[in-house]
């Protein structure tokens, strides 16, 4: 049940056409929250990538938990993207992201799908390092797609 809920959450990342959460956060707080979520995701991705490459001892259960952790953080991102955050100077989001919200949402969906796949396959019996390398590589390509297009250097 938990796994199914996580996969649904990851798939829905950025799928909404409207990010209407301005009533929950001040824009500056939303950007800080968003950046914190990305830090959590980066920490999880570092371990996942390290295991997939063999830089960290491979542990299928630990990698699966890291994928779940990443999915949990990702599921919260949508509430931090609303137009009032556009003008927050500390944001790492390029202005063109707001002008191409459809493209950004499509990349977010690709990320959610790849993360859902990693959560699913890493939870299967017999999951191994070769599968981890393939699924993590697919996920990290989606990260790069968004970073290259919508993130400040």
In whole angstroms, give the CA distance from residue 135 to residue 11. Answer: 15
The answer to whether 146 is a known ligand-binding residue is yes
The answer to whether 12 is a known ligand-binding residue is no
Q: Using the 8-state DSSP alphabet, how is residue 16 labeled?
A: S
Six token digits for residue 31: 């950007």
Cβ atoms within 10 Å, residue 108: 24
- What residues contact 28, with CB distance under 8 A and at least 6 apart? 88, 90
In whole angstroms, give the CA distance from residue 96 to residue 102. Answer: 11
The answer to whether 51 is a known ligand-binding residue is no
User: Could you tell me which residues are annotated as the binding site for heme c?
Assistant: 143, 146-147
Q: Which residues are annotated as a binding site?
A: 143, 146-147
């Amino acid at each position: 049940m938990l796994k199914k809920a996580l996969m649904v959450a990851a798939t829905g990342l950025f799928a909404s056409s409207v990010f209407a959460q301005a009533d929950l956060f001040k824009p500056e707080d939303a950007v800080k929250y968003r950046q914190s979520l990305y830090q959590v995701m980066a920490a999880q991705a570092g371990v996942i990538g390290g295991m997939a490459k063999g830089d960290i001892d491979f542990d299928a259960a630990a990698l699966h938990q890291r994928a779940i952790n990443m999915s949990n953080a990702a599921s919260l991102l949508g509430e931090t993207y609303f137009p009032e955050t556009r003008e927050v100077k500390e944001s790492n989001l390029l202005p063109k992201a707001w002008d191409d919200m459809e493209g950004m949402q499509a990349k977010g969906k690709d990320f959610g799908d790849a993360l859902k796949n990693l959560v699913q396959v890493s939870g299967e019996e017999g999951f191994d390092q070769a599968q981890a390398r393939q699924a993590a590589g697919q996920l990290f390509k989606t990260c790069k797609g968004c970073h290259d297009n919508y993130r400040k250097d």
